[in-house]
Amino acid sequence: MRRSPVWSPEQYGTYADERARPFRDLVDRIGATDVRSVVDLGCGPGALTATLRDIWPEATIRGIDSSPQMLEAAAQYADDHLSFELGDVREWSGDDLDVIVTNATLQWVPEQLDLLPGFVRALRPGGWLAIQIPGNGDAPSHAILRELANKPPYAEYAKDASLRPDVPGPADYIEALSALGCRVDAWETTYFHVLAGDNAVLEWVKGTGARPVLQSLPDDVRPAFEAEYGARLAEAYPQKPYGTVLPFRRIFAVAHKER
């Protein structure tokens, strides 16, 4: 049986500024005013959720995440206007919300388009839904991961953990959210992050995309996998004097519920 990975706020926080940029670009396209209630679905360690207080200082903001480890890290940001709670995005429901943000979360949910009607219903008339997901499933970082996870001796443990659902593109979001009575702004961006440090792409993916695979491996198998994976990544993403370039495609959709 495939187990949910235990997420590490510390590892995820590596290259925090680069991870934050898509969140800022997403939220910048939300045109909400007089905001009273905000939910961040898949809030992670809470640092980005906390920045929403600066945008909507009068709002009540809730961060929801399925990882106890992430929520433990997020607790440091809680105050009278900002709270965090354990929850699964697939089971969540709400009502009378002004803004729903879900950043780098829905890529893990195969049925994510089926969740959109519930998200839109949770918005008050005139509310906003903002979604960002990685769209880099064909990148070398992921292709190499799948290849290694599907060969001996790793496949016995990691084959299922390497499976990732197909993700919608901007046009899919436009079609699905328009059918729910929303005006939709959808786009994609490829960031070219310049990462510092040795084997920087390995350190990046250990906090996110590669984590389920790495955690599926027994302790006596994992070091060999990580060494082989790291060597392949270093070849695919060579380190330069100025850093390592990681092209990273991301997909965005911002929907405004009609009044």
User: Residue 15 has what pLDDT?
Assistant: 81
Q: Report yes or no on 4 lying in a domain.
A: no
Q: What is the CATH number for 236?
A: 3.40.50.150
Pairing of the two strands 60-65 and 37-41 = parallel
Residue 181 phi, psi dihedral angles, 5° rounding: 85, 25
Beta-bridged to residue 184, according to DSSP, are: 255
User: Residue 8 has what pLDDT?
Assistant: 57
User: Residue 2 has what pLDDT?
Assistant: 40
Residue 173 phi, psi dihedral angles, 5° rounding: -65, -40
pTM of the predicted structure, to 2 decimals: 0.93
Side-chain-side CA neighbours of 82 within 13 Å: the count stands at 22
Q: Report yes or no on 175 lying in a domain.
A: yes
Q: Report yes or no on 162 lying in a domain.
A: yes
Rounded Cα distance between 149 and 154, Å, is 5
Q: What is the pLDDT along the chain (259 residues), one digit of tens a residue?
A: 344 566 555 665 568 899 999 999 999 999 999 999 999 999 999 999 999 999 999 999 999 999 999 999 999 999 999 999 999 999 999 999 999 999 999 999 999 999 999 999 999 999 999 999 999 999 999 999 999 999 999 999 998 888 888 999 999 999 999 999 999 999 999 999 999 999 999 999 998 888 889 989 999 999 999 999 999 999 999 999 999 999 999 999 999 998 7
Q: Report yes or no on 166 lying in a domain.
A: yes
Q: Report yes or no on 2 lying in a domain.
A: no
Amino acid residing at 206: K
User: Residue 161 has what pLDDT?
Assistant: 84
User: Residue 165 has what pLDDT?
Assistant: 87
Helix axes 112-122, 170-178, angle to 10 degrees: 50
Q: Report yes or no on 43 lying in a domain.
A: yes
User: Residue 9 has what pLDDT?
Assistant: 59
| Domain count along the chain | 1
Q: Report yes or no on 170 lying in a domain.
A: yes
Q: Report yes or no on 131 lying in a domain.
A: yes
Q: Which two tokens stand for residue 26?
A: 């997403």
Q: Which domain holds residue 43?
A: 9-257
User: Residue 6 has what pLDDT?
Assistant: 61
User: Residue 248 has what pLDDT?
Assistant: 97
- How far CA 213 is from CA of 67, 140, 142, 205, 232, in Å, comes to 17, 16, 11, 11, 16
Sheet strands side by side (includes 37-41)? 82-86, 60-65, 37-41, 97-103, 123-134, 244-257, 182-195
